[in-house]
Amino acid sequence: MESIELTPTAKHHIADVALVAGILWERGWAVKNGGNISVDITGEVDIRTNELNQFPYKPLEHAYADLAQMFLLVTGAGTRMRDVANQPFDNICIIRFSNDGTGYHIIDGDVFNSRLIPTSELPTHLAIHQLLKRQGGTQKAVLHTHPDELIALTLIPGFSDESRLNKMLFSVQPETVIANPDGVGLVQYILPGTEQLAEKTVTSFQHHQIIIWGKHGSIAVGEDVLEAFDLIDVVNKSAQLVFLCREAGYIPQGLTEQQVEELKKKF
């Protein structure tokens, strides 16, 4: 198998993925093989096009024309975040999309685990990366994890409403408004790993940078995986504060709508 060359930027992204994976495991947000990460590293992998046929090829159920020839770093199906943190090259893979976006090659080379296939949530990751490509911004990373408090909120009657959920999350700390002025999207529970979940999630990402999947978890985008993690971390902190107040026997009396608007204007 031919060797592949990764630029320092690609290696930096891998180090970030490992760092965040370790944090997710320590937080308890990634029990067993929960959660997945992907990063667009197009332009950061050196491999000749005529060598692609030596790598395993997987056809896609749907074509992603915007992802043609793109390279994606993605955690492997069934991998545990604690293992991604400790042995990233054994638990992540690089995929290179075909020239028409109808499939991809798994670029295992001599440094990656050749037995890996991408996460089962790949349909959602691909749909999001296609949206990001069309938007033409600088966001390249997608992170899905299972923050306890955010999931718990969606299990409480009344917080399955996106507007009410955002009002509560915004009100309990200024940082949530500053870091995420567009609020969170809410996608009601849909079977994980499905095209339907991908479609609903992408629709919500047209207006938000972080989505809560009801009774399941959260998914966010960022320029790198650290930024995506920070978005989820800040919003989950708001959820923690909600529960702290409720455990003390109080309904949170947070920021007023006027104070929230002042924060949006200032920051």
What's residue 49's pLDDT?
63
| Mean pLDDT, residues 199-226 | 97
- How confident is the model over 65-86, as pLDDT tens digits? 999 999 999 999 999 999 999 9
| Mean pLDDT, residues 191-215 | 96
By annotation, the residues acting in catalysis are 121
Measured between alpha carbons, how far apart are the two ends of the chain, in Å? Answer: 51
| Nearest-angstrom CA–CA distance, 21 and 229 | 10
Q: Rounded to two decimals, what is the model's pTM?
A: 0.94
Q: 36 Cβ partners below 8 Å, 6+ apart?
A: 74, 75, 119, 120, 121, 125, 144
Fold of 147-267: L-fuculose-1-phosphate Aldolase (3.40.225)
The strand pairing partners of 222, in sequence order, are 141
Comparing CA positions, the residue from 120, 141, 132 lying closest to residue 66 is: 132
| Nearest-angstrom CA–CA distance, 261 and 258 | 5
Return the SS3 of 127: helix
| Nearest-angstrom CA–CA distance, 182 and 168 | 14
CATH annotation of 1-120: 3.40.225.10
| Nearest-angstrom CA–CA distance, 106 and 93 | 7
| Mean pLDDT, residues 216-244 | 97
* pLDDT tier, 1 (very low <50, low <70, confident <90, very high otherwise): very low
* pLDDT tier, 246 (very low <50, low <70, confident <90, very high otherwise): very high
Mean pLDDT of the chain: 93
- Mean pLDDT check: name the lowest of 22-36, 108-122, 132-146, 151-165: 108-122
What's residue 54's pLDDT?
84
| Nearest-angstrom CA–CA distance, 78 and 80 | 7
| Mean pLDDT, residues 10-17 | 97
| 8 Å CB contact between 40 and 72 | yes
Indicate if 147-267 has the same CATH topology as 1-120.
yes
DSSP E strand stretches across 29-178? 36-40, 45-46, 57-59, 71-75, 92-97, 103-107, 141-145
- Amino acid letter for position 214: G
Comparing CA positions, the residue from 152, 141, 142 lying closest to residue 238 is: 152
| 8 Å CB contact between 211 and 217 | no
- How confident is the model over 123-177, as pLDDT tens digits? 999 999 999 999 999 999 999 999 999 999 999 988 888 999 999 999 999 999 9
Domain ranges of the chain: 1-120, 147-267
